[in-house]
Amino acid sequence: MHKASVSDTPNSLLHLEAAHFRVPDPAQLTAQNPGTHRPRIALLYGSLRPRSFSRLLTEEAARLLQAMGAETRIFNPSGLPLPDDAPDTHPKVQELRELVLWAEGMVWTSPERHGAMTGIMKSQIDWIPLAMGAIRPTQGKTLAVMQVSGGSQSFNAVNQMRVLGRWMRMLTIPNQSSVAKAFMEFDDADRMKPSSYYDRVVDVMEELVKFTLLTRDVAPYLVDRYSERKESAEALSRRVNQRSI
């Protein structure tokens, strides 16, 4: 049987443009001047109920992140308009976008409603553009996803948010949290009770901080792409900033 020969030289790759081809360099994966500031983590939640369990879980996550050395900011979605129902100059939209630019990592926490993440959660993500001028505000940043359910444990919302994280070019960590019967997992002081669910939240936040510290200084190199080096800066800007459908 004839075996096709494979050459290890770029000259055999007829369709490559050599000027834009790069061999991945391990040295580029070590930051020359690593940041010494605390990891910056933005947290979003997907419910506006007075006793929102996604908010309570988010606040618990923020406490853990702070204990692990991170700086945290939680976005309150109350008052955020529906996507396309207000200009992007709306104060809440600007607040959200400034928060995303500030962050090095994010936590998204949604209730599961009718088998999916809530519209409140999705609206926040929809207001975050893939590009703001020449800046891609979420690209290369870390992401952890969590959900709460009123009934048995489910993973529909976290699975959907993982898809969105990939679409936003984020580095979604492997671990995740899904809290079943969330109304039973918080005490009268709105603190999470000891349980395996709580332990998993600790695991997720620990992993998020580690991945953020590992990648934040080299994120531009991690997401540097042959196709975008090949494309002219002007054409790239036109493509990523095209009007949303």
CATH number at residue 98: 3.40.50.360
In a domain, 238, yes or no: no
In a domain, 230, yes or no: no
Q: Are the beta carbons of 179 and 197 closer than 8 angstroms? A: yes
pLDDT single digits (tens) 60-99? 999 999 999 999 999 999 999 999 999 999 999 999 999 9
| Statement: residue 243 has pLDDT above 70 | no
CA-closest candidate to residue 169, choices 109, 215, 111, 123: 215
Neighbours of 11 (CB within 10 A): 8
| Top-ranked range on mean pLDDT: pick from 2-16, 57-71, 115-129 | 57-71
Instruction: Domain count for the chain, please give it.
Output: 1
Q: Are the beta carbons of 104 and 138 closer than 8 angstroms? A: no
| Statement: residue 10 has pLDDT above 80 | no
In a domain, 207, yes or no: yes
| pTM score of the predicted model | 0.87
What pLDDT score does 5 carry? 57
| Statement: residue 7 has pLDDT above 70 | no
In a domain, 86, yes or no: yes
Query: How remote is the C-alpha of 67 from its chain's centroid?
Result: 21
In a domain, 147, yes or no: yes
The conformational region for residue 37 under phi > 0 = left, psi -120 to 50 = alpha, else beta, is beta
In a domain, 27, yes or no: no
In a domain, 85, yes or no: yes
Helices marked H in the chain: 53-67, 91-102, 119-126, 156-167, 196-215, 219-222, 226-230, 233-240
- Cβ-in-10-Å burial (0-12, 13-18, 19+) of 81 comes to middle
Domain span holding position 57: 37-217
In a domain, 183, yes or no: yes
Q: Are the beta carbons of 222 and 30 closer than 8 angstroms? A: no
Residue 108: band (very low, low, confident or very high) from pLDDT cuts 50, 70, 90: very high
The token duo for 85 is 């129902």
Whole-number mean pLDDT of the chain?
A: 89
- What is the DSSP track for 68-106? TT-EEEEE--TTPPPTTSS-TTSHHHHHHHHHHHH-SEE
3-class secondary-structure state, position 117: strand
DSSP state of 193: P
